[in-house]
């Protein structure tokens, strides 16, 4: 039992297939953590930009001024500001065509905002499917490495006359390291996926609420225009 059973020795002594599985899982784990931190900062930025624009929107600034600012900030604007800009752009285009029907104007603006909303949501959800895949597949990849390692260990033991725990332990321990690395890759990915999915749902609800509120404002403005026109 004097064999060195440190994690490093177990990894170095494992069969090439198990080592390949471990290397793959370590690479996936690093990519997963990179995606987690990238998504964490991206969602924080989205929420900050949305909050800033919402504060400006309800501060009493005119819609035309907000639209001008959104056009200037096109590259650095948040999802809510871009949705607002797409709605206002379509609304303005329809007004320029001398379309005065309130329903047509409102439907055009809503369709433009819905299309923009879908694009923004797709952008916010990037890398989420990767985390889901890591969380679901990594344990099985690790398990494959373990099964292969144990099989390899038992094949090696077949030629021995007497088998003791001392001869069995290193081979099985080497194989089990693959499962441990698989779980190490999967657990953070699953936790992060659940957290981000919940956060993205909140962002989506907030954007949908804004679309409804802005549509109501446009409807009131159209009502006011038609009343003054009469």
* DSSP code at position 133: H
Alpha carbons 163 and 156: distance in angstroms, whole number? 11
Cβ atoms < 10 Å from Cβ of 13: 16
**pLDDT on residue 228:** 55
Nearest to 124 by CA among 206, 211, 213, 32: 206
**Integer Cα distance of 207 and 200 in angstroms:** 10
pLDDT in tens, the chain (230 residues): 345 556 676 667 667 888 888 899 999 999 999 999 999 999 999 999 999 999 999 998 888 899 999 888 878 899 999 999 999 999 989 888 887 788 888 999 999 999 999 999 999 998 899 999 999 999 999 999 888 888 877 777 777 666 666 666 777 777 788 889 999 999 999 999 999 999 999 999 999 999 999 999 988 887 766 555 54
Compute the distance between CA of residue 22 and CA of residue 58 in angstroms, rounded to an integer: 53
Cα–Cα distances (Å) from 72 to 21, 77, 108, 131, 199, in that order, read 50, 9, 23, 35, 28
Check if the beta carbon of residue 189 is closer than 8 Å to that of residue 131: yes
Evaluate whether 25 touches 182 at the Cβ level (below 8 Å): yes
pLDDT value, residue 82: 94
């Amino acid at each position: 039992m004097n064999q060195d059973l440190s994690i490093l020795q177990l990894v170095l002594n494992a069969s090439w297939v198990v080592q390949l599985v471990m290397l793959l899982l370590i690479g996936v784990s690093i990519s997963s953590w990179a995606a987690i931190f990238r998504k964490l900062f991206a969602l924080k930025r989205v929420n900050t930009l949305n909050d800033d624009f919402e504060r400006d929107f309800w501060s009493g600034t005119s819609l035309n001024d907000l639209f001008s600012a959104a056009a200037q900030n096109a590259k650095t604007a948040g999802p809510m500001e871009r949705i607002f800009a797409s709605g206002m752009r379509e609304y303005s285009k329809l007004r320029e065509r001398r379309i005065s029907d309130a329903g047509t104007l409102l439907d055009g603006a809503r369709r433009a905002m819905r299309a923009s909303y879908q694009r923004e949501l797709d952008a916010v959800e990037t890398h989420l499917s990767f985390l889901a895949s890591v969380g679901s597949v990594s344990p099985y990849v690790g398990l494959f490495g373990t099964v292969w390692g144990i099989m390899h260990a038992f094949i090696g033991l077949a030629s021995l006359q007497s088998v003791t725990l001392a001869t069995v332990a290193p081979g099985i321990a080497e194989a089990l390291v693959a499962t441990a690395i698989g779980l190490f890759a999967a657990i953070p990915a699953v936790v992060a996926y659940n957290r981000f999915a919940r956060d993205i749902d909140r962002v989506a609800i907030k954007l949908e609420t804004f679309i409804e509120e802005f549509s109501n404002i446009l409807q009131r403005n159209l009502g006011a225009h038609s009343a003054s026109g009469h």
